[in-house]
Amino acid sequence: MAAELLVTFWGTRGSIATPGRSTEKYGGNTSSVSIKSHGKYFIFDAGTGIRPLGVEIMGEAAIQKDKQKELFLFLSHTHWDHIQGLPFFQPAYDPSFRLNIYGTSNKDAMLENILVGQMDSSYFPVKLSALGSEMEFNDLQLSDTIEIADNKITLQELDHPGGSLSYKFERDGKKIVYATDHELDFHFTQDGELKNDSELGKQYQAYIQDADLLIADGQYTSEEYEVKKGWGHTAVPTLLNLAQKSRVKQVAVYHHDPMHTDSFIDQLSASYLKKFQDTEPRMDIFWAREGLTLAI
Amino acid sequence: MDEEQQSQSDSRTIAMSRTEVLTGMSRRRVSYLEVNSPERPRLNFKLTDGKVVMGRTTDNQITLPFTNVSRHHACVYINGEDYYVEDNGSTNGTYVNGVKIAKCILRPNDLIQIGATKIYYSEREELCL
Ligand SMILES: [Zn+2]
Ligand SMILES: [Zn+2]
């Protein structure tokens, strides 16, 4: 793999981990994606999928002893399925790592306090403060731009109960958007048309325009969405039609519903691949699966 | 079945040794690639712990002698208990179920495409005797 921008899906499931035979293909671990950019790891969300990523990073660190061991973790929000893997992320225990964590405070608590709370002794045996790595918490503002070497990250607010943040990663003209836990249907019709002149909708559309890869919440079928309005997730046709209108080059449908088995997702994806196979401009679509790495 | 026969069959059931039961439970997973190239016989390739390289030249474990295939196009290898397919920076790409991949874990019935060659991944359980 000679490419310098590698995107790997470590957890693709939404809401709760779903181990077992019926989910082994698309995966049972909750949200976590890495972008390995010229050797540096940028991690998006710390659902249970971050645990195997930690194992991989420890393996690489053992080989490349003198490499800088700095990791960058961006949290969309602090619902369980986006933070639960953090206490099992091995590099966090290793003093030779520096872990930079980015996210937003919610109304009641600073990011650091929420993560400390998850490791309170009522829930977990080891305190966050006892972890060996050097950790830095960065509470972000929407207007922030994060530049790390030649990698640039910008933010967009999403529509989700309690809030959620999207991150756009840019490097050498390539754009990758990570946008999960988002109820796009409040702002767009299922045909991808803007609703009620939504300001957030306009911002979002401009933000994903021409993305090389859009990793986005597509938890529900349109039928499921009808009974799950207000739960903070998107219906597949809304996501895909808006992406098509925004000239996105490749879409990874992400944050799979815990009830969606491999065979269900196979059928769902087959029906949408057919619908979009001849559209102009060309847009590649796939349902994100655990253990898949793309070169962008 | 009268009462005496019934009790005999019961005792036979009990007589099956614990070792026999445990032996029956020992299994291992074996993985295969089924390689379908245009106008060539189908090849069934059993995967082991070794890395399998696929490409145009004859020094590959699986030779795909076609002009749109790179010399050492892609490889399949085991990591832990999972097999992966990885593209070796090929010119025309390696696809899994239609998605152009850099690397992908393999699950039963996955379709790997390299040029016009279709390669199916499958798994079987074998008893260890
Ligand atoms: Zn979620
Ligand atoms: Zn959420």
Q: Give tens-digit pLDDT for A7-61.
A: 999 999 999 999 999 999 999 999 999 999 999 999 999 999 999 999 999 999 8
User: How far is C-alpha A253 from the chain's CA centre?
Assistant: 11
Question: Residues with Cβ within 5 Å of ion ligand 2?
Answer: A 79, 181
Q: Averaged over A233-258, what is the pLDDT?
A: 98
Q: Give A86-145 pLDDT, tens digit per residue.
A: 999 999 999 999 999 999 876 567 789 999 999 999 999 999 999 999 999 999 999 999
Determine how many CB atoms are found less than 10 A away from the CB of residue A272: 20
Confidence of residue B27 (pLDDT cuts 50, 70, 90): confident
A25·B107 Cβ contact <8 A: yes
When mean pLDDT is compared across A122-131, A186-195, B2-11, B17-26, the lowest value belongs to B2-11
Residue of chain A minimizing CA distance to B100: A294
Nearest CA among A201, A179, A180, A181 for reference residue A192: A201
Of B97, B104, B110, the CB nearest to A293: B104
Per cent of chain A over pLDDT 90 is 93
Q: Where are the beta strands (DSSP E) in B1-129?
A: 27-36, 43-46, 52-55, 62-63, 74-79, 82-87, 94-96, 99-101, 103-105, 111-114, 117-127
Residues of B in contact with A273 (CB under 8 A): 98
DSSP-derived 3-state class of residue A60: helix
**Cβ contact, residue pair A293, B82, below 8 Å:** no
Please tell me the distance in Å from A157's CA to the nearest CA on chain B.
29
A193 Cα–ligand 2 center, Å: 24
Among the bound ligands, the one closest to the CA of A81 = 1
Q: What is the pTM of this model?
A: 0.93
Q: Which of B95, B101, B110 to mutate to test the interface with A (most CBs of A within 10 A)?
A: B101
- Comparing CA positions, the residue from A30, A27, A33, A35 lying closest to residue A47 is A30
* Contacts of residue A173, Cβ cutoff 8 Å, sequence gap at least 6: none
Residue A1 has pLDDT above 50, yes or no: no
**Average pLDDT value for residue range B10-23:** 62
Return mean pLDDT, chain A.
95
For the residues A174-181, what does the mean pLDDT come to?
Answer: 98
CB-based contact, A294 to chain B, within 8 Å: yes
* pLDDT score of A77 more than 80: yes
d(CA A190, CA A185): 7
Mean pLDDT on A179-208: 98
Question: Which domains are seen in chain A, by residue range?
Answer: 5-295 (3.60.15.10)
User: For residue A66, is pLDDT > 80?
Assistant: no
Nearest chain B residue to A277 by CA: give it.
B98
Q: How far, in Å, CA of A18 to CA of A155, rounded? A: 29
- Dihedral of CA atoms A110, A58, A123, A17 in degrees, nearest 10, equals 100
Q: What is the strand order of the sheet A174-179 is part of?
A: A145-148, A151-158, A164-171, A174-179, A213-217, A250-254, A284-287
**Beta strand pairing status for B94-96 and B62-63?**
unpaired
Helix, strand, coil % in chain A, rounded to nearest 5: 30, 30, 45
- Taking the centre of ligand 2 as the mean of its atom positions, its distance from the CA of residue A159, in whole angstroms, is 10
Give the minimum alpha-carbon distance from B54 to chain A in angstroms, rounded to a whole number: 15
